[in-house]
Structure formats: structure tokens, C-alpha cells
Amino acid sequence: MNQIEELAKLLGVDASFITDPDITLSYSRDQAPFAQSAPPRAVLLAKNAEQISTTLRFANQHKIPVVTRGAGSGLAGGANSSADSIVISLEKMNQIIDIDTENLIARVEAGVINLDLDTKVKEFGLAYLPDPASRDWSTLGGNAATNAGGMCCVKYGVTSSHVRAAQVVLASGEIIEIGKATKKSVTTYDLLHLFIGSEGTLGIITELTLNLVVRPQPPATMIATFASITDAASAATQLLKFKPSMLEIVDQTTLKAVEAWHPLGFEIAGSVLLMQLDENPHLCEEALSVCRRFNLIDGVYSEDPADSADLIRVRKMAYPALERMGATLLDDVALPINKIAEFVERVEKLSASSGLTIGIFGHAGDGNMHPTIVHDHGDQAAATLAQKVFGEIVAIAQTLGGTASGEHGIGSIKSTMVQSEISETVMNLQREIKRVFDPQLILNPGKKFPL
């Protein structure tokens, strides 16, 4: 009996434990285009924490790598498996366990889809706020493991601001509770936030206690076109005072891609800002007069929430419009917000010198940009060049006081890019902390940072 057969026997016949290579292949990677992966030895579609505990205890004993995944919506290769690994998928653990309308918290299994929770709590006039672009198919456990962001985070913060507590299975198989369901607690070290964003390298999150809020008012929406990205980015820093619940920027390259697909009237725009106000919807006119100080070409707004989908259409089309042009490599860096314009200028130079199209859009209010490199499908030389440019974009951000990832995570595609912004001491502290939780280094080894 080989190891996998032995584990299957331990898990019993009730477990969905898959070794068919036709099926395991589809659990071997996330959405990152160029990260290494190989079908794992087996996939557990976990039904409960106990099955995960059994699997980890066994894997720990036999030093078998374990890769955890939610929906596989990640963009950094964080869920990519190696040939010697076991993949644990949380997709079947998708129960909303409790919605507590008095304490304004929800308890969910980690495999619940983000939007499913928000849709459910809407019935009570409540909301789960974090809104990654993947929210209609990504899982809350994956959101926590990567500390996912989204458009509303400029006002409401990223996933880490919305998690109170978690149930976690350690590499040893022990099941523990971290954080506290109360709104405040300083009783232990903040182990909860150590897990959020740890990308499956410290343990497996099986359950989450999440903040709910009274559903915000539908927002007013403003769209403003500027002569240049410098103007739009400068205006963005001045718009934060209106407490936007969305503040997005789109560059000229991306606008041209959108125009080529669906003409929306942005032929002469150098850049576009989109803003939503859910707290002070009546301030759009005042916001527009701020924009006029920065070479505004044109601006429109509507306090009628029904118009918002129309007005933000260009932002929703940004990535699909670039995807139409070829194969894409979507980057993710975070910057000081007053460095956005300089960042875009440098990336434009890199685009010119490399000959690659690079469209830039992102969360202006957070300084979180998504430069997207486009190259011809099937052109291997261009693909190799795009990967090199992907890293150079990260380096530009780091030079400007920015960081390698704002919301997608480090995964496997950036794990060697972080060293230029982290001291060797901090890198070693990470390694030692990992050893505390995972002494055999079985959990997603090599992801997040080089071991």
C-alpha cells in the first residue's frame, strides 16, 4: 500500500479523495499564467476540519507537501501544486453557519463564495463589504489567505479589516481558534492577522467569523476625463477628502483598448477617474470642481444609483478589453498614492523600450495599480519578455517606495522579487515563524518567500 492509499484508508470511504490524473490536473493551478505547476498526487475535496486534520497529520508525518485552494481564482500561483504534493480543496465546505444580526457577524466555512455571503446578508439589510474583482466566484477562505482587496477598500479597508476570528488546522493536525468573535480583544498576540495573507503557508483556515455592516446607501457616481494621467492622479489625491467608496483610474492605453472594442467616447482622454460616494452623494459637483484644477476635459456624475453601472462601464471593461488584444500578464503593485503618475510614466517608458503593450488601471485611492502586459498568443519570445517586464514593473514600484503586491499576493510568481524591499532579518523572522507553525515545512512550501 503506497502512502496515498494509506491516507485514503485513513480518510475512509466518505471522503472525496481523488487520484484520477484527469481530475487532479484541474486542481493543479490558479489563474496565474506563467507559474510552474504539476498535477498533485491526490486531491481532497474536504468536507470538514476533521478530514483536513487527518490529512495534515499524515502529511506532516511523511513530509508530503500540502497545497490548499479555494476556488483557484488566485493570480499569483499561490495555489499551484507540485508533483509530490497533496491538494486540499475547500470548495465543498461552503456552509454559512450563522448570521448574527445583533452582534453583526457571520460565521462561515472557508469555502463559501464571497458574493453568496453578501447576497444572503442583504436580506437583513446588511453587507459583507470586501469586494475583490473575483467576488462572484472566489472563496472567503481564499480571500483571507491572500488578504484580498477590491474597489471599496479605499473606504472600508481590505479583507483583514473584516475578519474577527478563524478556525485553523495546523500542520500537526491540531484544530485551533484564533482571534475572538467580540469586536475588541487584546487578550493574545494577534495570531489572526498573522494568518491573514499568509497564503496557506502557516495552516489551513477552515472557518471564519466576519464583520457585517449595515448596508451602505447606493452611491452617487462620477466619471472625469483628464488630459494626462499625471492630472488624473494628482486629482485623485485631492478627492480622498470626499471619503470615496470607490476611486479608480484608467490610463490611455487601456482607454484605447476599450474604444477599439466599444466606443464610449474616450478618444481624446489621457486618463479617466471614476469615483463613487456612498456617504456624501451630494458632493459630486464639488468633487468635479476639484477636478477642474487638474486639466479636466470633461466630467459627469449622477446621484441616481441606477446610472452607476453605465458610468463605471469603462472600468469594468478595462481588463477584458486588454485581453481581447492578446495574452495578458496582470501585475499588482501598491504605491504611495502621490507616486502613481511617476509610476505610470516609468511603465510607459518600459512599454516603449520593450515594444510590449502595457495598459494600467487600478485603485487610485489606495495606490494599488494593475499594469497589464499584452503580447501575442503563442509568441514564446514575447511571453518570455513579458515575464521579464512583469518583474521590472515590480522593481519600479519598489524604487518609488511601493511594494511587490497590494492585494493579489506573492504566491510563486513573486517570491524572489520581495527581497529587495525586505531586510534579511525580516526574511529570517518569516522563516522562523513558519517553523513555529509548520516545522516540517509541508504547507505550500516556497510560496510567499523562499524557504
Residues 162-191 that bind its own copies (CB under 8 A): 170, 174, 176-178, 180-191
Closest of 30, 24, 210, 196 to residue 103, by C-alpha = 210
Closest of 367, 359, 232 to residue 292, by C-alpha = 232
* Alpha carbons 213 and 93: distance in angstroms, whole number: 24
Q: Find the shortest distance in angstroms from Cβ 99 to its own copies.
A: 13
Cβ contacts of residue 218 below 8 Å, gap of 6+? 278, 305, 308
The residue from 56, 64, 418, 443 that contacts its own copies (CB under 8 A) is 418
Instruction: Report if residue 316 touches its own copies, rule: CB under 8 A.
Output: no
Q: Judge contact between 72 and 30, C-beta under 8 A.
A: yes
Cβ contacts of residue 208 below 8 Å, gap of 6+? 107, 108, 110, 140, 141, 144, 163, 165, 166, 167
The residue from 193, 256, 313, 324 that contacts its own copies (CB under 8 A) is 193
Q: Find the shortest distance in angstroms from Cβ 161 to its own copies.
A: 6
Residue 50 or 177: which CB sits closer to its own copies?
Answer: 177
The residue from 366, 371, 372, 444 that contacts its own copies (CB under 8 A) is 366
Q: Find the shortest distance in angstroms from Cβ 135 to its own copies.
A: 17
The residue from 368, 372, 412, 444 that contacts its own copies (CB under 8 A) is 368
- Furthest-apart CA atoms within the chain: distance in Å: 74
Q: Find the shortest distance in angstroms from Cβ 13 to its own copies.
A: 30
Residue 3 or 103: which CB sits closer to its own copies?
Answer: 103
Closest of 311, 337, 312 to residue 240, by C-alpha = 337
Instruction: Give the CA dihedral 226, 227, 229, 233, nearest 10 degrees.
Output: -40
| Binding mask of the shown chain, residues 273 to 312, with x at each position contacting its own copies by CB under 8 A | ------x---------------------------------
Residue 183 or 388: which CB sits closer to its own copies?
Answer: 183
Residue 297 DSSP symbol = E
With contacts defined by CB under 8 A, name the span among 46-54, 66-74, 127-135, 192-200 that binds its own copies.
192-200
Q: Find the shortest distance in angstroms from Cβ 178 to its own copies.
A: 7
Residues 206-265 that bind its own copies (CB under 8 A): 214, 237, 240-241, 243
Q: How many other CB atoms are found less than 10 A from the CB of residue 402?
A: 23
Instruction: Report if residue 448 touches its own copies, rule: CB under 8 A.
Output: yes
Residues 113-152 that bind its own copies (CB under 8 A): 125, 146-147, 149
Q: Find the shortest distance in angstroms from Cβ 389 to its own copies.
A: 20
Tell me the C-alpha to C-alpha distance, in Å, between residue 299 and each of 249, 286, 402: 14, 12, 30
Q: Find the shortest distance in angstroms from Cβ 96 to its own copies.
A: 19
Residues 317-346 that bind its own copies (CB under 8 A): 334-338
Residues 65-124 that bind its own copies (CB under 8 A): 102-104
Q: Find the shortest distance in angstroms from Cβ 146 to its own copies.
A: 7
* Alpha carbons 325 and 344: distance in angstroms, whole number: 20
Cβ contacts of residue 153 below 8 Å, gap of 6+? 130, 131, 363, 366, 407
* Alpha carbons 225 and 244: distance in angstroms, whole number: 17
Instruction: Report if residue 440 touches its own copies, rule: CB under 8 A.
Output: no
Residue 97 or 176: which CB sits closer to its own copies?
Answer: 176
Q: How many other CB atoms are found less than 10 A from the CB of residue 173?
A: 18
Q: Find the shortest distance in angstroms from Cβ 255 to its own copies.
A: 24
The residue from 39, 74, 200, 406 that contacts its own copies (CB under 8 A) is 406
* Alpha carbons 250 and 21: distance in angstroms, whole number: 42
The residue from 115, 290, 383, 433 that contacts its own copies (CB under 8 A) is 433
The three cell numbers locating residue 145: 489567505
DSSP 3-state of 226: strand
Count of residues in contact with its own copies, rule CB under 8 A: 75
Cα Rg for the chain, rounded, in angstroms?
A: 22
* Alpha carbons 340 and 365: distance in angstroms, whole number: 10
Residue 126 or 322: which CB sits closer to its own copies?
Answer: 126
Which phi and psi angles does 165 have, rounded to 5°? Answer: -155, 165
With contacts defined by CB under 8 A, name the span among 220-228, 268-276, 311-319, 407-415 that binds its own copies.
407-415
Q: Find the shortest distance in angstroms from Cβ 367 to its own copies.
A: 6
The residue from 141, 152, 437, 444 that contacts its own copies (CB under 8 A) is 437
Residues 386-405 that bind its own copies (CB under 8 A): 401-405
SS3 content of the chain, % helix, strand, coil (to 5): 35, 20, 40
